[in-house]
Each structure stands twice: as C-alpha cells, then as structure tokens.
Structure 1
Amino acid sequence: MIKSVNNCTLFLFAFFKIPLLCFCFPRIKKKSLQSLHLYIPLYFFTKNHLGSMYFGVLMMGADLSAGLLAMHCASLSTKKVSIIFKDTQADFLKRAEHAVLFCCDEGDKINQLIDLVCSTEERHHAPIQIQGICSETKEVVARFTLTLSLKAT
C-alpha cells in the first residue's frame, strides 16, 4: 500500500502495479483527508477517433481518484485495510473534449467506513461519488458511483 500519496508515488505505483495508467499521465491536483482531485490530459493516447476522451480513460480517472483517496485515508489507520471496488455506475453527460479533473470529495464517508471495518473486522461497502469536470469549460462531463469495499486485514 502507498504510505504517502503524491505524484511521484502515483507514477511509481502506476509503473509497477498498473502500467496502463502511465499512458494517461494522471496528476494529483489537490489532496486532503476530505478530497482528492486528479487531472488527466487529453492527448494522443487518451483521445478517441472523435477527438474526445475514451470512456475507458474516464473510468480509469474515477477509479484512481476514489482509490487514491481511500489509500490515503487507509494509510493513516491503525490497521492495514484491503481496498477494492465492488461495482461501478457511470453517467457520461457530455463529450470530454479537453483535459478532465476527477473530483472525489467523499473523504469523510471513506474515513467512517475505515473506522467501521477496523472496529468490526468484517468487510463493508459504501457508494463513493466522483465527478469528471472539463478543465476548459468547468462543466461536469461525467458522474460516477463506485462501490468501495473495505476489510481490515
């Protein structure tokens, strides 16, 4: 597990654990215990034939923003916490024709879930909301709900 989430550890994590992420050049723009905002540029490897961001890259950004926030919160826990996503739901509202900022502001919910799994030592789930916002127009281009599943190990 990553002990400190920053752009350097994000690159190393991506390179060694999920190499496909390296092609997306994700960058952490804001990080706290309450939120994590992740930026993915639109360029050759993230662009589809219509000039907008691949929906797979959009899903990757949502997964990564919520997952890194959960890893950051879990790194401060007294117990080791296993993190996985159980399911996902996405609404693609507009074509993402510019870079996208993925905003996960569910840190309080994640911290409550971590406290719960550490006290019960059972697996628990919670839906986590993420928004994909166009960097140029500031419009929401996608909304995601990922069910976070945690267990203290």
Structure 2
Amino acid sequence: MLNSLQKANWYLRYFGWRKVPLIGLCRPKLVSLTDESVTVMIPLRSRTKNHLGSLYFGALAIGADVAGGFLAMNKAQQCGKKISLAFKGMTADFLKRPEANVYFHCGDGLLIDEMLAEAIATGQRINQAVTITAKCPSLHGDEVMAHFSLVLSIKVVN
C-alpha cells in the first residue's frame, strides 16, 4: 500500500505528463508534504541544466510553481473543493547558481488555508503572494540559491 507522500508523487507525475508537460519534463519529486509546507526537488540533469551547468531559469520557475501550486491543490482536495488555480505574478531573486539538485520549499500552508476559507465564503477569486525558497543542500548546505514570490490566485468552482 502506498503512503500519502507516494500517492502525492504519483499524482504529481500524472499531472505533469497529462496536463502540463513541461512539469513532467523536469521530473519534480515531492520530498515532504505537510499541512503547513511542501518541499519539492528538481534534479539537475541534461534536460534541466543550462550551458553553465546550473539549473536552467525555466526549471527554477517550474520548481517554484510546483511548490506553491501543489500545496494549494492538495489543500483544496483535502477540503473536497474543486478550485481554479493560477499564478498572476512572479518576482525572483537569484542569489547563486544552483549546480546540483534543487529543493524548493513553500511554508505558506496557513496562508493558503485562509485563502481557501475566504474563497469558499465569498465565492470570489482570492489573490495572495506565496513565498518559495530554493536551496542546494548537497553543495551549499542551508544557503539559499533563490527567493521566489508568486501571486497565487484561487477560486472555488462548482
């Protein structure tokens, strides 16, 4: 029998290949998933690295997208609601070149809970910025490679 993290990884793999092929191409993997946070790893491989040998800008954006979006999708699924999810804006600060597997962490689970509650209560689209950090623990320990702020936009649909 599969545990909840394995089921979530199967769903992410299916979603990546079936709905958003660029996500599938990067092969993200959920490392941890709790009510408050998610950690996603994108491996540094020939398809995700740039000419400098570091994770490509597009793959970094996909990692941030998956970390923020998967947490919201998982929470909506737990409440039994179907949501329309999109990102309306993004700011990023790239601090160092990530030259190994990159771990994206989003700890905004409580904020997403509030967004879902408000979207359910009002029926309106709710926009809020979520924060994601990217690290390469195998090379740089706990040093942050990049900071992302993505404006998450959710609406409950019938």
Shift, 1:77, TM fit: 2.2
Deviation, 1:135, is: 2.7
The amino acid across from 2:149 in the alignment is T
Superposition pairs of residues 7-46 of structure 1, within 5 angstroms: 7-46=9-48
Which segments of 5 or more consecutive residues in structure 1 lack a partner in the other structure? none
Q: How many residues align?
A: 150
Cα RMSD, aligned residues only: 1.3
TM-score relative to the length of structure 2: 0.91
> Is 2:132 the counterpart of 1:152?
no
Cα distance in 2 for partners of 1:79, 1:16 equals: 21
AA aligned to 1:12 is Y
Contact 1:77 1:114 (8 Å CA) reproduced: no
Counterparts of 1:79 and 1:24 in 2: how far apart (Å)?
A: 28
Say whether residues 1:94 and 2:96 are aligned partners. yes
Which residue is equivalent to 1:132? Answer: 134
Per-residue deviation, 1:76: 1.8
| Alignment correspondent of 1:67 | 69
Measure the CA separation in 1 of the matches of 2:11 and 2:84.
Answer: 19
Unpaired runs of 5+ residues, structure 2, are none
Normalised by the length of structure 1, the TM-score is 0.93
Aligned partner of 1:45: which letter? R
The runs of at least 4 aligned residues of structure 1 exceeding 4 Å deviation read none
Cα distance in 2 for partners of 1:47, 1:81 equals 33
Q: Which amino acid aligns with 1:121?
A: G
Aligned to 2:146: 142
Return the structure number with greater helix share: 2
Distance 1:7 1:109 in 2: 23
* Cα offset, 1:23, TM superposition: 2.1
